[in-house]
A and B are shown apart, each in its own frame.
Chain A
Amino acid sequence: MSEEITAVADHHHDDIPKGLSRWLFTTNHKDIGTLYLWFSFMMFIIGGAMALVIRAELFQPGLQLVNPHFFNQMTTVHALVMIFGAVMPGFVGFANWLVPLMIGAPDMALPRMNNWSFWLLPFAGMLLIGSLFVPGGGPAAGWTIYPPLSIQTGMGMDLTIFAIHILGMSSILGSINIIATILNMRAPGMTLMKMPLFVWTWMITAFLLLAAMPVLAGAVTMLLTDRHFGTHFFDAAGGGDPLMFQHIFWFFGHPEVYILILPAFGMISAIIPTFARKPLFGYTSMVFATASIAFLSFIVWAHHMYTVGMPLSGELFFMYATMLIAIPTGVKIFNWLATMWRGSMTFETPMLYAISAVALFTVGGLTGVMMAITPADFQYHDTYFIVAHFHYVIFCGSVLSMFGAVYFWLPKWTGHMYNETLGKWHFWLTVIAFNVTFFPQHFLGFAGMPRRIPDYAQQFTEFNMVSSIGAFVLGFSQILLLINVVRTIKAGQPASDQVWEGAEGLEWTLPSPTPYHTFVTPPKVS
């Protein structure tokens, strides 16, 4: 013990550890946030590369580049990598960086566990991506890994199951940390209803994670025992039911959808008021809308399963409950519009991203309403219409918001302004290419193209070509983001402490770049 105490005495405020061990062993929320964000970006590139394999194969009818089994592995692993590797860790990265700064805390509540939640991820990632290289290949049953199809695949599926277990652990530990930080570490005077909306949305997200991730872990555990230990959970011959997996999976899966979007709502709610130079409209209703979306997310899961042959009463219940979600979601969108209304707006890159996230998320939300309508969904289900829908929601809602957030907070973190011209190029290329890629997919769905097929009938050719071209532009545009971020970290115009004229909140009261340790003595919030 005495050794440690002397070590402590040697440490001073910004005596930052050096080298690899800094990143491996760090307990600092900013370091861990940075790790999460780089990990997320790496996964985003890997998952994106898989998407390009998919789009390249779909450029024209016929089998050109890959065989159908590998194609299925690509769709499956693309989704898993993007959801569990890119979007979720990206959000946790922002939470790590921002939650302590926004509530005036010296660090996360449980710093060692914080390190653990991060370092679980690369190992889970190795299992997941490594599964592509084992005999029999990776999981090829879609990211929803429905049995009995997922019972058929080889070793890759087992690695995926364990990857999901470890990813789930990481999410649960991360959520516990975020909840404890928010509930226990707020500066004096920072009451719950004074917290920035990003903190609120993350706290609600953390509750969703705590309730949903263990259920997924349970589902894949049963899958594992069905695969190898002779159980019959999902086998009718033994009294089980493949459909049971779908119910359990989507009980996790629907809250998961909101896990992937709620923190983005918080980011948008920080960015729009800043550049409109006007307070966020309807803060209280935003908080309640978020909470009601979270609650509803637990009673709508079967809308992913309208075609499985549910009893009529079940279909009606899930249709009505799903339609209800449109109401709080609408409230949020209208609140953002009202925040912009009669503001004094400027359109720097973060604002462009936030506005486009709202606009295009609205497209995804509206197609979501269409799919809530059960009878019509019998036609939409498992077509490209749903592919378009969830990319509008997850790419536009979540990823565009994160892009905006990177540009928004990067000057604060690094002390340097990013390159605005490059940022705008990144924005326009991304948004235009995204729409070129995914808007035509709505029509493909209407026209009857099923999803998850490596080859298609000829009437779908044109739209698929457009979509593939868009996808490649979209993918390669992301190099601009990388260049911009690296340049900003290394050099760039010095940023002021306030950074943005309209910025408000505790994090903007700190110097830019933020010192290694902040709010060691809690600030007073009036």
Chain B
Amino acid sequence: MIHSRLRRLISWMPRALVGLLVTPGVALAEWGLNFPRPVSPIAQEQYDLHMLITWIVTVIFIIVFGIMFYSIINHRKSKGVKAAQFSHSTKAEVIWTVIPTLILLGMAIPSTKALIMMEDTTESNMTIKVSGFQWGWHYEYLDHGIEFYSKLSTPRAQIKGEEPKGEHYLLEVDKHMALPVGQKVRFLITSHDVIHAWWVPQLGGKKDGFPGFINEFWIKPTEVGTYRGQCSELCGKDHGFMPIVVDTMEQVDFDAWVAKQKSAAPS
């Protein structure tokens, strides 16, 4: 098992290198080098911002390293260079204070817009209350009168290495939650015990659930599919074992799902 992994690793390395150098954006995601493909407006916004600032800092990084290496290669004693003795230049200081300020301003404007959009939970079509607990999630569809618990379904034997690991090892649950595509869903998140954080990368950023308090966020899925995530706030021994699985579906399918949940409910 380790052996095959290592072999895969070696074959994968040149691809990754090529990927790093030439392929921008989404293609990188397939090799696990970048964010997974966004499927909600917030995730899209985050993805775009992430790419923008990644490129900006990459360029800055190249410039800084370029100057440094130019200097390392050319300004060395072994080349017989005599050291210059300058020790200040107000002009230079002003330049490298002002330019970063302008770059930061350039980053602040789109970030502010994105943040305002993200925090706007008004005009939602439905509300779901999510409660984390040690260790799993409790979902309540407040407008539909549905509630259920959702916990890790990976068998213990796979974790212990006694069975081969499945395709969705550690990212599979006994009961998926469902969301309709194209609807703005408001989430209320809280917790029964310690702090948890609900996070499905492709659906947009995470939010912490605090015991005794309620936080809000929203998701508007744009595509049908199954999306997986994990708790991302340390919550004790099984923090690594409380995944989230969301099925997004067309409204009709969602309605059918709701009806099925209701008929299955013990009440």
Contact = CB atoms under 8 A, between A and B. Distances in A.
Q: Would A and B touch once assembled, by the CB under 8 A criterion?
A: yes
Interface in A313-351: 315-316, 319-320, 323-324, 326-327, 330-331, 333-334, 337-338, 340-347
B77 A375 contact: no
B36 A447 contact: yes
A125 B230 CA distance: 34
Interface residues of A, number: 98
Interface in A343-380: 343-347, 355, 358-359, 362-363, 366-367, 369-370, 373-379
Contacts of B229: 448
A72 B237 contact: yes
Contact of B65 (A152, A359, A444): A359
B158 to A, nearest CB: 7
A359 to B, nearest CB: 6
Interface in B1-36: 1-2, 5-6, 8-9, 12, 29, 32-36
Contacts of B107: 323, 369, 373
A161 interface: no
B46 interface: yes
Contacts of B142: none
A323 B239 CA distance: 32
20 contacts: A68-B239, A68-B241, A282-B87, A282-B88, A307-B197, A307-B208, A342-B71, A366-B57, A366-B60, A369-B104, A370-B53, A377-B205, A378-B204, A379-B46, A382-B206, A447-B32, A448-B201, A450-B230, A450-B232, A455-B241
Nearest to A455: B240
B82 interface: yes
Interface stretch (A6-14, A233-241, A510-518): A233-241
B154 to A, nearest CB: 10
Given A148-B194, A149-B234, A323 B171 contact: no
Interface in B65-91: 65, 67-68, 71-72, 75-78, 81-89
Contacts of B186: none
Interface in B167-223: 168-171, 193-195, 197, 199, 201, 204-208, 210-213, 215-216
Tier of interface size on chain B = 35 or more
B118 interface: yes
Contacts of B231: 450
Interface of A: 60-64, 67-69, 72, 140-142, 146, 148-149, 152, 235-237, 241-243, 276-285, 307-309, 312, 315-316, 319-320, 323-324, 326-327, 330-331, 333-334, 337-338, 340-347, 355, 358-359, 362-363, 366-367, 369-370, 373-379, 381-383, 443-444, 446-448, 450-463, 465-466
B36 to A, nearest CB: 6
Interface SS, A side: helix
Interface of B: 1-2, 5-6, 8-9, 12, 29, 32-36, 42-43, 45-46, 49-50, 53-54, 57, 60-61, 64-65, 67-68, 71-72, 75-78, 81-89, 92-93, 96-97, 100-101, 104, 107-108, 111-112, 114-116, 118-119, 158-161, 165, 168-171, 193-195, 197, 199, 201, 204-208, 210-213, 215-216, 229-241
